[in-house]
Each structure stands twice: as C-alpha cells, then as structure tokens.
C-alpha cells in the first residue's frame, strides 16, 4: 500500500496485529475512531480479541470501542475471543465484564459464542459463557443448539484423518478440483495447518484476499495445504461454503495436484 494511502485506521489495524500498545495509545490520543471499519471487514477490537491480545483489547475498550460491534462476517468480539487460540478465557471474561452480549449471534448461521465454543471443544469457555448468561437452548438458523454443535465436534473428530505430511502425499490422495466439498474437506483435514504454519489465520486471510484480487494462489505446497485447511475450518465455523469459497478451494486443490505431480513437495 502506498504511504500516501496508509491512513490512521490502517495504522491502528497494523498496531493491533503487532500487539503495539504504544502505537495504539498514540493513535487514541490523536482522536482516532477505534470502531472504524477502514478498508477492512473487521473492527480493531474484533481483530485483537481474535488474536487473544488481552492488553490490546483492554486498551481499545477503555478508549471507547463497542464490545458488541460486529466485525468480519458479522461476528461479535465475544465470539472471536471464544475461538482465539491464545487467552480465550481471559479475553472472553473481560468482554463479558464490560457488557458483551453473551447471546449475540454471528453471521448468516445465527450461531452464538456458546455454540462455536462447543464446536471447538472449549469446555472452560463454555462454562464461563453459561455462567454469564449464555442460553444453551437457543438455536441457530438450522435449529441446532450448543449441544448439537458439541455432537458435531465429536463426529468431526471421528471422521478426521491423521496428519499426512507433504513427503508422504501421493497424487491419488488429492481429490480433483471439481470433486464435491465433502471430498475436499476429508483431504483438507489431513493436514494440521495450525501446527505447520505459524500465524495461520493471518497467512490464510492474506492469501484469500490476494486470490480475490488477482486470482493467484500461494507457491509453496505447505502454504497451499494450510490455506485449504483454513478455508474448511472457516466453513465449519461459519456455515455452508459460499460460491467464492468453493472457487478458491478448487484453485487451491488444482495447484496442490500440480505440485504433487511434479514432485514439488515443500
């Protein structure tokens, strides 16, 4: 991004990603709108909550950030915190203390934080949410409760294959790009993206954005598989895959097949 188009809001999101509290304090002192949606679909608070950055979350809330303002795919900060890989319990507890709605619904599936915490097997987060007013009888768009999400987690654990490293991958293991989403999912979950790629969410979101803008996919097999894994995890969380997600998944699979066929297994 050219320097002359790098706005204070862009600086805020960059500071959140880096965990740069001093920069955020500087921007707040300059009067920045901490709830702004600049050229992103997210809010700074949602981004911080999703990264489990408690210090940054506190700083933003104390600067006036709305604890119930939805960000990416209409997901509220509490749900982002409940699904964070780091500090989910502490961040969720703080947001609830500051007035976050324990029953706020997310995106088109109308899922609550309790439902999605159940899907991820976050028992302590579920206990916290229930203690702070999350209603286990609520249903999502398809009539499923948190208990149904918990059962779905158990089904996924049974269905999911073990990790298949790149050097063991054969072309016949990779489904064709035009196979259905379920077949794609079985292959995608044979790669443990979070363990293989540090900061997977940031890497995968950047790659997805690049594909939407240019049609390009990552060059390395590891990143391709990690991005495919992440897209399928995204679909599990956020409901049925969109046409755009399906197109991106097909492009990733085609690239994976091409690299496996020529032995480019890094």
d(CA 240, CA 94): 31
d(CA 240, CA 123): 25
CB atoms within 10 A of CB 224: 25
Residue 147 domain-assigned? yes
Which CATH number goes with the domain that contains 37?
A: 1.25.40.20
Average pLDDT of the segment spanning 169-173: 90
Asked whether residue 261 carries a pLDDT value surpassing 90, the answer given is yes
21 and 151 share one domain: yes
Q: Where is pLDDT greater, at 241 or 94?
A: 94
Structural domain harbouring 202: 160-261
Asked whether residue 126 carries a pLDDT value surpassing 90, the answer given is yes
57 and 149 share one domain: yes
> Among residues 86, 239, 65, 263, which one has the least CA distance to residue 171?
263
Task: Determine the straight-line distance between the first and last CA of the chain, rounded to whole angstroms.
Answer: 29
In the DSSP assignment, the letter for residue 111 is: E
141 and 179 share one domain: no
Confidence of residue 2 (pLDDT cuts 50, 70, 90): very low
Boundary-marking domain end, from 158, 181, 216: 158
Q: Token pair 């439902």 is at which residue?
A: 115
| Tokens found for residue 102 | 């324990």
Asked whether residue 243 carries a pLDDT value surpassing 50, the answer given is yes
Report pLDDT digits (tens) over 53-71: 999 999 999 999 999 999 8
Report pLDDT digits (tens) over 181-229: 878 888 898 888 878 887 787 788 889 999 999 999 999 999 999 999 9
Average pLDDT of the segment spanning 20-34: 95
207 and 238 share one domain: yes
Q: What's the distance, CA 26 to chain centroid?
A: 28
Residue 72 domain-assigned? yes
- Diameter of the chain by CA atoms? 58
Confidence of residue 156 (pLDDT cuts 50, 70, 90): low
Asked whether residue 242 carries a pLDDT value surpassing 90, the answer given is no
CB 197 within 8 A of CB 203: yes
20 and 152 share one domain: yes
152 and 188 share one domain: no
CB 112 within 8 A of CB 103: yes
Which residues fall within 8 angstroms of residue 115, CB to CB, at 6 or more apart? 138, 140, 144, 145, 146, 149
Q: Mean pLDDT in the chain?
A: 88
Asked whether residue 158 carries a pLDDT value surpassing 70, the answer given is no
Which residues fall within 8 angstroms of residue 211, CB to CB, at 6 or more apart? 217, 248, 251
Q: Where is pLDDT greater, at 44 or 121?
A: 44
35 and 100 share one domain: yes
176 and 117 share one domain: no
Q: Where is pLDDT greater, at 165 or 182?
A: 165
The predicted pLDDT at position 1 comes to 39
Boundary-marking domain end, from 158, 185, 210: 158
d(CA 189, CA 194): 11
The predicted pLDDT at position 161 comes to 61
Q: How many CA atoms lie within 13 A of 55 on its CB side?
A: 11
31 and 146 share one domain: yes
Asked whether residue 238 carries a pLDDT value surpassing 90, the answer given is no
Asked whether residue 134 carries a pLDDT value surpassing 80, the answer given is yes
The predicted pLDDT at position 49 comes to 94
32 and 98 share one domain: yes
Q: Where is pLDDT greater, at 179 or 72?
A: 179
128 and 62 share one domain: yes
55 and 89 share one domain: yes
Asked whether residue 3 carries a pLDDT value surpassing 50, the answer given is no
Number of structural domains in the chain: 2
Residue 198 domain-assigned? yes
């Amino acid at each position: 991004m050219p320097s002359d188009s790098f706005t204070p809001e862009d600086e805020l999101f960059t500071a959140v990603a880096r965990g740069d509290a001093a920069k955020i304090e500087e921007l707040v002192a300059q009067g920045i709108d901490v709830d702004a949606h600049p050229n992103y679909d997210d809010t700074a608070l949602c981004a911080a909550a999703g990264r489990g950055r408690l210090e940054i979350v506190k700083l933003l809330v104390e600067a006036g950030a709305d604890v119930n303002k939805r960000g990416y795919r209409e997901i509220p900060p509490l749900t982002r915190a409940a699904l964070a890989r780091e500090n989910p319990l502490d961040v969720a507890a703080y947001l609830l203390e500051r007035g976050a709605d324990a029953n706020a619904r997310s995106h088109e599936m109308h899922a609550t934080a309790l439902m999605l915490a159940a899907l991820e097997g976050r028992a302590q987060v579920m206990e916290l949410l229930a203690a702070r007013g999350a209603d286990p009888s609520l249903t999502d768009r398809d009539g499923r409760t948190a208990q149904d999400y918990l059962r779905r987690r158990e089904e996924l654990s049974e269905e999911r294959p073990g990790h298949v490293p790149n050097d063991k991958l054969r072309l016949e293991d990779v489904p064709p790009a035009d196979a259905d989403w379920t077949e794609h999912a079985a292959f995608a979950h044979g790669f443990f993206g979070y363990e293989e790629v540090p900061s997977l969410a940031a890497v995968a979101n950047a790659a997805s954005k690049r594909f939407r803008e240019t049609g390009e996919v990552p060059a390395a097999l590891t990143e391709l598989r990690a991005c495919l894994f992440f897209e399928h995890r995204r679909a599990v969380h956020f409901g049925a895959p969109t046409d755009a997600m399906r197109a991106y998944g097909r492009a990733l699979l085609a690239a994976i097949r091409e690299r496996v066929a020529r032995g480019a297994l890094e």
